[in-house]
Each structure stands twice: as C-alpha cells, then as structure tokens.
Structure 1
Amino acid sequence: MQHVALALYPGFQALNLAVSTVLEFANRYLDVPLYQVHLLSEHGGPVSTSGGFSVSTEPFGRRRFDTVLVVGDNDVLPAPPALVKFLQRAARTSRRIGATCTGAFTLAEAGLLAGRRATTHWYYAEQLRRRFPDISVEEDRIFIIDGPVWTSAGMSACIDLALAMVEKDAGAAIARDVARGLVVYHRRAGGQSQFSALLELEPRSDRIRGALDFARQNLKQELSVEQLAQAAHLSARQFSRAFRDETGQSPAKAVERLRVEAARLMMESGRHPIDVVARDTGFGDPERMRRAFLRAFGQPPQAIRRMARGGALQTA
C-alpha cells in the first residue's frame, strides 16, 4: 500500500483534492488497492478551503509517506513555516514529492526546486521565475517530472499529474480506465500547452465565435475567408473587419493557430505519422506544417513529439 499525503493549509483551492479522486478510482480498478490518501495540516482538524468550507485533516507528525504533494491556492498565500519544514523532511524519506498549481511556490520556499525544471499556474509563472531565479520555470506545460519532484500547472492539471502517477505505478491500462471512469480526457501529455487558441482569441460576438467553432470542426477544409464569413452570416468584407476588431488578428492567422493546436495534440497523444497529422489538420503537407510549428513554438513537430514522450513519465 502506498501512502499518499496531500499537505493542506487554510485557504487552499479545493479542486486540488481531485488528486484523491484519481487515486480512489485507481483502487477501484485494481485487484488489490494500491493507494491510501491522507489529508495533512500543521495541527490537524478542520482546514478551510478558499471556497469557505472545511475538510478534516491529520497533523503532519513524522510519519513517512511514499508520495507527498503540497496543494495550491488562488493567491499564492505565504507558506506556513511548519509546512516548509514538513516538506523538507518528507523530501529526505519519500519516493516522490511534488506540488499542484501554486503549491510550487511552497516547494520553492523549501528549497526543493532549486536547479530543477518546474511548472505552475500560467498566471503566476513569471512571479515564480522572479522570486526563484534558480528554477527553470516552464509555464507552457501541463506537468513536469524532474527526478523525484513532480509539479503541475493550475487547477484541473492536478488530474493529469495524478493520472501520470497512476500510469507510472500501475500501468497505462489502469490510467486509461481511471480517465474513462472520471469522464476526463486521458492524461494530457506533460508537454502539452496550458493554453487553448480558442480561449486566447476570445471573440465577443456569437457570429465570430460561431465562425471559429466552424473552423475548428472543419480543419481539413480550405477554410477561406468566404467560407468563414458564410458561417458567421456576414459578407467577406464585414467578416474580415469584425474578426480583426474582436481578435486582433487575421482569419488566416487564427486558422493556422487552430491547426497548429490540433496538430500538436495529435503529435503528443498518438503515434500518427507526420503526413497523416498534416493532412488531418488541414496543412496538406508536412513542410507547411513544419513551418507553422516553427512560427508557433520555435521547434519542428518531431521535437514536440519527443518532448511530450520524454516529459510525460521521465524520472531523471
């Protein structure tokens, strides 16, 4: 039985507790339960969440755990000194230690991220970089494994981190079963972007949003301005002007971003040949896709695939 500790403090974000649900469902799919989860805090007893309700906890004590994760909060609250000391002790005895969301700041306060790669919620990544320049902060990652230290991006990325742990401990088949049971996308690759092109574009009107949805669902098509304008029920001239006003970029550039995002996901989550990915995402040929990847990521598709495979379950 692996004992997994989630280290909590007042004001933590409750979504981080989803880690415990992933491990609970792993136990359901295993012949013999593998995980026992412990919620810990400095003094034990009820600990309030940022949402105003409380959960029951055990005191830190000096018990040894296989895995220790410190959770994050919404505002990068100051790390309680007792929590920092607990993590420093745990790092000497636990097989792995990590953080979800802004919990990376607490790991950093404990000196456990020095000289390592780490991620956190994209909104606070630059703050983590400024406060702790000895950390290689990679904000455009869902999670990162650097030796025994695991860190995840914000909010729901803790589920991806926990699924990766299940995959590491119990195999890919069990992790897939857990993902299906939880009705979530099967573990996003650690190297996958925290961002979505559709979210970043953020058009104001239903017409432009409808055109973008049409584009996303029809990436194999040419997707000319005329096609997109028709989906938006506007003339091509009206559409081009409204699109640039609402998104700050041209329709052609936005379509390329949607194609790159779809191609990146295919590269990270499967073994599709490059030419198949290029065809299915509307690039037409691998060279055109390669140039788009270089513009978007500064790396060719093959490098993105290698990063995803290496970053997902790399332990050193």
Structure 2
Amino acid sequence: MKTVAVVAVPPVKAFDLAMPETLLGAARVASEPGYRIIVCTAEPGIVPGGMGGFDVVVARGLDAIDEADIVIVPSTGSRGTAGEATLAALRRASARGKLVTSICSGAFVLAQAGLLSGRTATTHWGLADELGTTFPDVTVRTDALFIEDGPITTAAGAAAGIDLCLHLIRADYGAAVANAAARAAVVAPVRPGGQAQFIDSPLPPENGLSLAATRNWAMERLESPLSLDDLATHARTSVRTLTRRFHEETGLSPQKWLLHQRIHRARELLESTTLPMDQVARHSGIGSAESLRQHMLRHVGIPPSTYRATFTRTPK
C-alpha cells in the first residue's frame, strides 16, 4: 500500500480536494486497498473554500507529507502565495525522491516552491499565460491533460485530475487495476496524457449524430485491421468528415485513438494472461511481437516483457 498526501492550500476547491480519495481509494490490489490517502494542510482545522464554495475541515498537518510516497496539490485559489511551511514540505518531499504532482492551479504552488524550475508543466488552459508570466523559468504547455517531467507531474483542469489519478494507478498497479477503479468511479478508463485539454466543438453535430457507436464497434474489433474507410463506412460518412468529427469528439485522430486503445488492450493482456508476445500483439491488433515491443517502449517506456514481469496478476 502506498501513502498519498493530498495538500490543501487555502482557499481550496472541494471537488479537486476529494478527487484523489474517490479515484485512488477505488484501487484494489488482491482485494486490498492500493493507497492510503491523507488530506493535510499547514494549519489543521477549518480550511476556507473558494468563492461560492464551502469550507472544509482538515485534521492533519504537513507532517503527513513526510510519510507519503506520493504528494498531490489540488487546485487552489492561492496562485503563487502559498505559505513557506507548505513550500518547504514540498521541497523536502521532492528532495527525498517522492512523486510530487499537482491538479489545475496547484501547479502555481509547485512553481512557487521551485519544483517546476527548468521543467515543462501544464495547468488549466485559462491559467497557462498567468503561470508562464509569473514563473518564466517554467515551460507551460496547454496541449496535454497531464505532463510528467522527471519526478514532477502536473495535470490540467479539474477533470484532468481524474486522468492523473488513473495514470498513477496504472503506473503503480497496472491497467487492469486502473480500469477497475475507473469503473467504480464511472469514468472513462483511458484518456492519454497527450490529448488536447479541450475540443472546439464539444457538442454532437446538429443532426444529433455521434461517433460513439463507431468507437464502440471499433473497440470490439481491435484485433482486426481497421482502416479509415472501415470506420467511415460504419459511421456512414466520408473519411474527411470522420477525421474532423473524431478530432471534435476525442481531441485525437482516428489512427491515434485506435493505437492508444490497442496499446491499452495489450497492457491488459500482458497483465492478465500468459499469452506469448506474438499472440498479445495479434489479439490487440498491433501486429507482430516486434511492433508490440516498439510501441510499448515508445508509449509506456518499458518493453512488454518487463511490463508483464512488473504488473502480472496471474501465476507465471
């Protein structure tokens, strides 16, 4: 079990503050909790909420950070004005090699602590210019839901915090555990960190049609070759319209979306089966064992054999 310290920097947003408990608390490994979550703050007691929100009561002080494996700083109305005690505790955690993360405007706290200096980070797209102007030594990107730069991970707006939490679960315990946590929280299990923060046309087209049915159809056929023509035929539209609407609805091209789903399927098969690598590649639609190896290295960072040894949930 890993210990997670969620740091409340007033004024807090209750939704972001509760998010790690909701997602990480749903992670179960062999029926046991995967995480112990502790909410802490510099001055325990009543912590003010944001404008129009409500106050919360936090019992633990910053000593919780010292015993944590992972530190999360959720969104806060304090942009660049966090107290020195909080900043010092975050610096200690980073110096000790702990994973330090932020959600939305929590990136301002990490930047104030100096943890983002010389690094690439993200925050809510509406705050990106302010973050970059206030802390010019930080490279700010808005084309990502979350960004890992060494031991520091930053997430965009509130919903991206969900993606961050699921990413943490996948990194610690594998895709199967992360999927189960996503199902428990009734959220989508896979949104890659490099996906755009927002889409230009979030609502379905005026004719009421959506590509959701086509995406579900493709998910049931990942092991088969699927071309743009195949997807367009199922959606009863042109390839050009299909591509445009895929970007509108997912922020990804059809090809990138398919690849992410296939890699995710391969990860599940590596965790839950003893299939040879060539069969894992075939059943996930990736093709050959060598292609699987290359994609895993590029997108996950380790070869499939190492991934299986790390995350397998079945006897070898």
TM interval, shorter chain, is 0.5 to 0.7
Q: Which deviations, in whole Å up to 9, do the C-alpha atoms of 1:176-201 show, x marking residues without a partner?
A: 111111110003111111112323xx
Q: Is the 8 A contact 1:189 1:268 kept in 2?
A: no
Residues 1:137 and 2:140 are matched in the alignment: yes
The structure with the greater share of residues assigned to helix is: 1
Match of 1:164 in 2: 167
Displacement of 1:142 after TM fit? 0.7
Partner of 2:197: 194
Residue 74 of structure 1 and its aligned partner are, at CA, apart by 5.2
2:7 is the counterpart of 1:18: no
Which of 77, 89, 92 is the equivalent residue of 2:92?
Answer: 89
Q: Deviations over 1:34-65 (max 9, x none)?
A: 31111111121221322113132311137331
Separation in 1 of the partners of 2:21 and 2:237? 45
Q: Offset at 1:77?
A: 6.5
1:53 matched residue in structure 2: 55
The amino acid of 2:245's aligned partner reads: L
Select the structure of larger CA radius of gyration.
1
- Closer, same or farther in 2 for the Cα pair 1:37/1:124, shift >3 Å? same
| Structure 1: 5+ residue stretches without partners | 203-207, 225-251, 273-304
State the TM-score, normalized to the length of structure 1. 0.68
1:21 Cα deviation from its structure 2 partner = 1.2
What is the aligned partner in structure 2 of residue 288 from structure 1? none
**Inter-partner Cα distance in structure 1 for 2:91 and 2:78:** 23
- Deviations for 1:80-128, whole angstroms, at most 9, x for unmatched residues? 2222122112212242111111101110111101111211111101111
- Aligned residue pairs: how many? 243
Map of 2:313 onto structure 1: none
In structure 2, what is the equivalent of residue 285 of structure 1? Answer: none
Report whether the alignment pairs 1:78 with 2:68.
no
Q: Report the Cα distance in structure 1 between the residues aligned to 2:58 and 2:259, rounded to whole angstroms.
A: 39
- The structural deviation recorded for 1:152 is 0.5
Q: Does 1:222 align with 2:237?
A: yes
Structure 2 unaligned residues grouped into runs of 5+: 215-231, 264-294, 303-316
Q: Provide the rounded CA distance (Å) in 2 between the counterparts of 1:49 and 1:216.
A: 39
Structure 1 position 172, deviation (Å): 1.0
1:6 to partner: Cα distance: 0.6
The aligned counterpart of 1:309 is 299
Could you tell me which residue of structure 2 aligns to residue 210 of structure 1?
A: 206
Whether contact under 8 Å (2:4, 2:38) holds in the other structure is: yes
1:309 counterpart letter in structure 2? H
**1:106 aligns to 2:117 (yes or no):** no
Answer whether contact 2:144 2:156 (CA < 8 A) is retained: yes
Deviation of the 1:255 alpha carbon: 7.0
Q: Report the CA distance shift for 1:310/1:31 in structure 2 as closer, same or farther (over 3 A).
A: closer
Q: Report the TM-score, using the length of structure 2 for normalisation.
A: 0.68
User: How many angstroms apart in 2 are the aligned matches of 1:308 and 1:123?
Assistant: 30
SS at 1:271's partner residue? helix
